Amino acid sequence: MLTKSYANLGNLLHCVSLISTLVYTVLVLRFANIESGIFDQEWVINGFCLTNEDVPYWSSHDLCLYCDSILCFLGWGVYQKLRNSHPQMKNADDSLKFNLLGHLGHGILHGFIAYFQYRDPNRSERMPGARNYETVLQSDVLLQIIGVFLFPAFWFGLLKGVLPKVLDKNLVILSLLASMGQMLFKDNQNFMYVQSILVTCYTVASLQLPQTEKNFDYFAMAFAGMIISFVPWIECMACESIASKVGGHLLFDVSIPISLVSAYVASWLHFNSTDKYHQDASAKAKKVH
């Protein structure tokens, strides 16, 4: 009975995450401009809430690199300690492992962005409103070559996190398609593009899991996903008033490992406490007889 409740709650939370992300996507595509007045103006310029852009090694992109790296390594330590501790946590084990690896790559990409956007002596001037492919064509040849390899690798890491059961060869194809598709969007739509694909893939894959695999960890990870899906609204609507006070886009980046590791630990505590309860109940029953 409880398993069915966890499955239903998990399904509901996944749907909430998807709806939130799709509404966000539509609004960004339609109204991500200064004139609309819907989004925070600082956010509209970049599609991120950025702070300290003039302070070397202290911009939001730099902070994302530092904090993502630290949190992913800490999360990896938790994973190594608790992995394979319960048969019902197999999906949670895989989800946390690949999400941490993908998020570490995500943080490293922020480091590349920080360098090429702020510190590269040969950097090109930004072209507001330009499509990504136009920006790439105007950039340095070295940057173009790096991008050819970096973007598919970036996408592979993220897609592996949300689709751990998909064969790697299929993920390579999806990564190439996602990379090419991103070239058609404007630079202030990049975050929206990435978020919409990842949440859609994760939600569809999760909802299709067999009922027997939708236990407490399914519910916990769905809850974490819902929390993560709400953070972009804070970033885009309250960049200056809230997000900029805690590192801008850093707020979103740290929400991912913190939420996922918290859900993972909660699942471990749940399954182990449940096992202990059943063991104690069994021991008492034997004493009675």
Q: Which pLDDT score, from 0 to 100, does residue 277 have?
A: 42
| Domain parsing of the chain, residue ranges | 2-279
Q: Is the pLDDT of residue 283 over 50?
A: no
Q: Is the pLDDT of residue 275 over 80?
A: no
Q: Is the pLDDT of residue 288 over 60?
A: no
Residue 124's alpha-carbon distances to 42, 53, 116, 148, in angstroms, are: 21, 16, 9, 18
Q: Which is more confident, 281 or 45?
A: 45
Q: Which pLDDT score, from 0 to 100, does residue 117 have?
A: 79
Q: Which pLDDT score, from 0 to 100, does residue 281 have?
A: 43
Shortest CA distance to 222 belongs to which of 3, 1, 5, 15? Answer: 15
Percentage of the chain modeled with pLDDT above 70: 90
Specify the amino acid at residue 191. Answer: F
Q: Which is more confident, 120 or 168?
A: 168
Q: Which pLDDT score, from 0 to 100, does residue 38 have?
A: 87
Mean per-residue pLDDT, 15-22: 97
Residue whose tokens read 């999400």: 99
Q: Which pLDDT score, from 0 to 100, does residue 115 have?
A: 86
Q: Is the pLDDT of residue 134 over 50?
A: yes
Q: Are 20 and 230 in contact (CB under 8 A)?
A: yes
Q: Which is more confident, 12 or 118?
A: 12
Mean per-residue pLDDT, 25-37: 88
Helix, strand, coil fractions of the chain, as percent rounded to 5: 80, 0, 20
End-to-end Cα spacing for the chain:
28
Residue 21, token pair as written in the block: 């992300």
Residue 114's alpha-carbon distances to 19, 47, 55, 152, 194, in angstroms, are: 31, 15, 11, 19, 18
pLDDT in tens, 165-175: 999 999 999 99
pLDDT in tens, 89-116: 999 999 999 999 999 999 999 998 888 8
- Please count the other Cβ atoms lying within 10 Å of the Cβ belonging to residue 32: 19
Q: Is the pLDDT of residue 126 over 90?
A: no
pLDDT in tens, 184-239: 999 889 999 999 999 999 999 999 999 999 999 999 999 999 999 999 999 999 99
Q: Is the pLDDT of residue 150 over 90?
A: no
Q: Which pLDDT score, from 0 to 100, does residue 118 have?
A: 78
Mean pLDDT of the chain: 89
Is this prediction's pTM over 0.95? no
Q: Which pLDDT score, from 0 to 100, does residue 41 have?
A: 86
Q: How does residue 124 score in pLDDT terms, banded at 50, 70 and 90? A: low
